[in-house]
Structure 1
């Protein structure tokens, strides 16, 4: 069973889990629903498509750079006549002096994550092909958050979780006079696990807007010591290291 290595990095990311109306949250790391939504978009699945095959996938997230939390304020509906403003839940219109709605949208700025995707070879193979030639544009949680580079870093990796710990370049500066660096990992676990750090409502049952449904998932966050030599810095050095790794894995896959 081989897996995929995904790299999720960009100017902005937003991985909502309990967003409601004017308040759009983000988790400090990618959610399962966000990653599976990205894979579904690559394959061109409709929002009404079945997602049962995705239950076979297991995700492990490595936090290369946690990024900085950012809040953006949006206003909607201001300056319009009442009949053109946002409808209320009852189907009417807001009073003329209250037509403007303020929403807060939360993002991670300059964050970078590397994700191991484990699953049956047939499924991960199809996902790899879709990520190389996506049907629909891919984004990091929200449509306003495009990725900074190709998302698929490697396919056909025999043990993608081990690769995150031993081989995949780490997008951060190398510490001086240290042989290891502390890195957070987000693992999926059993919902009854007493060591689970939190429970997220982010396992998609349906993305259909008329019957959007999610199930809970347990995760645990663990800090592990990785070889400092994995740190590849930023900018050109980072891109060279990632390209070298991706090329090597691609040659091994062939």
Structure 2
């Protein structure tokens, strides 16, 4: 199988799979609907265009730098009445980095690589206010999604690497396959239609993996000194 890898980094990202009334949440990692929307924008598809081929791609994501969960309070004015709307709480991830992977038809993936070089519509990471930190460039690897995510280079910043231990565990959330007998959770982020008049999402079963890597840039001490040891008996 061929897999397309995307390095996702930005000062702010937001990947909502459920928002209720004045609460706009974000998951701790990119959603499938968010990545499918990004790829559809690169291809120049409008919200009413079919997305079955993109939604049918196998999806997974690895968290390389979890970032910080932040919250904004936002107000807006209804332009039709001039009255203020309810205060909204909008959550987002600051200074996070991810590796997203989609696998499937090789011709489609090659087309996505070309589209990302010169996207038709602007690309953003979850919300229109959150553009990527730089141009998004896809990398094709001859591997399935689980293996591609485990073997992809670690994209964390040098500062983040220095602050981590000598051995790091990177969490992976990916589509459950026929061979997986341990479903971790179900997420309602499988897009069926982005049409504003008929927007629809279905549930997606996912599994959680961990990849452990060495961190030679670590500046953390190997072990913390036991300051109370001197108080113990002989």
Name the TM-score class by shorter chain: 0.7 to 0.9
Alpha-carbon deviations, 1:103-159, whole Å to 9, x = none? 11110011100112211111101111111110010000000111002222423x112
Q: Which residue number corresponds to residue 122 of structure 1?
A: 107
Count of residue pairs brought into register by the alignment: 215
Alpha-carbon deviations, 1:24-65, whole Å to 9, x = none? 110010000000000000011010111111243111211001
- TM-score of the superposed pair, with normalisation by structure 2: 0.82
> How far did 1:192 drift?
11
Q: Which residue number corresponds to residue 150 of structure 1?
A: 135
Q: Is the 8 Å Cα contact of residues 7 and 155 (structure 2) preserved in structure 1?
A: no
Q: 2:184 aligns with which of 182, 186, 197?
A: 197
Q: Which residue number corresponds to residue 239 of structure 1?
A: none
> In terms of mean alpha carbon deviation, does 102-111 or 162-171 score higher?
162-171
- TM-score of the superposed pair, with normalisation by structure 1: 0.76
Whole-angstrom CA distance in 2 between matches of 1:220 and 1:117: 15
Q: 2:175 aligns with which of 157, 178, 188?
A: 188
Whole-angstrom CA distance in 1 between matches of 2:91 and 2:165: 36
Q: Is the 8 Å Cα contact of residues 175 and 181 (structure 1) preserved in structure 2?
A: no
Q: Which residue number corresponds to residue 238 of structure 1?
A: none
Where does 1:123-138 land on structure 2 (aligned, <5 Å)? 123-138=108-123
Alpha-carbon deviations, 1:192-213, whole Å to 9, x = none? 9662222111011000000001
Q: Provide closer, same or farther for how the CA distance between residues 129 and 175 of structure 1 changes in structure 2, counting only shifts above 3 A.
A: same
Whole-angstrom CA distance in 1 between matches of 2:15 and 2:165: 35
* TM superposition outliers: structure 1 runs of 4+ over 6 Å: none
Structure 2 portions without partners, runs of 5+: 220-234
Q: 2:206 aligns with which of 219, 223, 229?
A: 219
Q: Which residue number corresponds to residue 139 of structure 1?
A: 124
The CA RMSD over aligned residues, in Å, is 2.6
Whole-angstrom CA distance in 2 between matches of 1:220 and 1:112: 20
Q: Which residue number corresponds to residue 161 of structure 2?
A: 173
> How far did 1:190 drift?
5.2
Whole-angstrom CA distance in 2 between matches of 1:32 and 1:74: 26
Q: Which residue number corresponds to residue 38 of structure 1?
A: 38
> How far did 1:219 drift?
1.3
